[in-house]
Structure 1
Amino acid sequence: MPHRIAIAADHAAYQLKSEVADWLRDAGHDVLDLGTNGPESVDYPDYGYKLGKAIAEGEARFGIALCGSGIGISIAVNRNPACRSALVSEPLSAELARSHNDANVIALGARLVGPEMAKACVERFLATEFLGDRHSRRVDKLGEPQL
């Protein structure tokens, strides 16, 4: 099933972003490319915030966040309360992020996973539905922390 997917990366991951975006388009998805598009140094939070905003405003159902490690951009995306970004490195974690946590964004580290593993993670993420049931109660708590 085709989806509208937002994708964003910093300079360390722009090549991986381009490859994944092209692959998604070839598979029939509508891709919203939020940059960056070159090796010039940029700040990953700026791109994580853009991605979070796109998800929150309904511009895309799912998001893919990429930086060197995937950590920084994932933190930036998760600053938006509408987002549940999970850092993944293999397909099982991508599946569990969707099925148990209703993640709507996955983050990948371009320095840690290659293009084929990134595509395998994205493919599993998009193919997995949220299980709901007992997981819904837990996901609801993510939006309303009891500090």
Structure 2
Amino acid sequence: MTFKADETIQVKGMTMPGTILSGPHKSPGADRWLVRKADGNVSLMKAAELTAMDARREAVARSVYEQMSGHRHWSTLTAVSREPYLRIADAILVALDTPTEPGPLKAGDRIRILKTMHDGADVRQGDELTVKVVTDRSFQTDAPRSYHSRRWYFLLSNEGIGWERA
């Protein structure tokens, strides 16, 4: 990862952002960047300890502050006063960026059987199968116990009833 001088970055393990002063500086093992942390200390830090700032962080923190306090004086707050709002903003952004709905089932996904003999297949509760082919209403999996069939067929609409994603 590359950074530019005067770029605001997030330092691993710290709530308040830091500022890149210079870098990269060659050192054994990993390149390092000279960083001024929020507390004023200057340190050489590995790129793995630094991440780019989320541009939305400050706006979310400001909105939280205004809603909770009823004031619009964000610019007059000290770094210490801003810290709790930035922590809340970080939690909100993580929650927003975490996918809540699983994507569509696709070949290679694993499913777990919830009902023995589901859809007439020779499967038992707890079996895990690999999805081979997905159509608009059903999908096919491997059939490890079958001597006659190479695949089992299940309906997509039975998710949570007869099978679940593993």
Larger strand share, 1 or 2:
2
Larger helix share, 1 or 2:
1
Higher-Rg member (1/2) = 2
Larger RCO (CA under 8 A, 6+ residues apart): 1
- The two structures have a TM-score, normalised by structure 2, of 0.22
- The two structures have a TM-score, normalised by structure 1, of 0.24
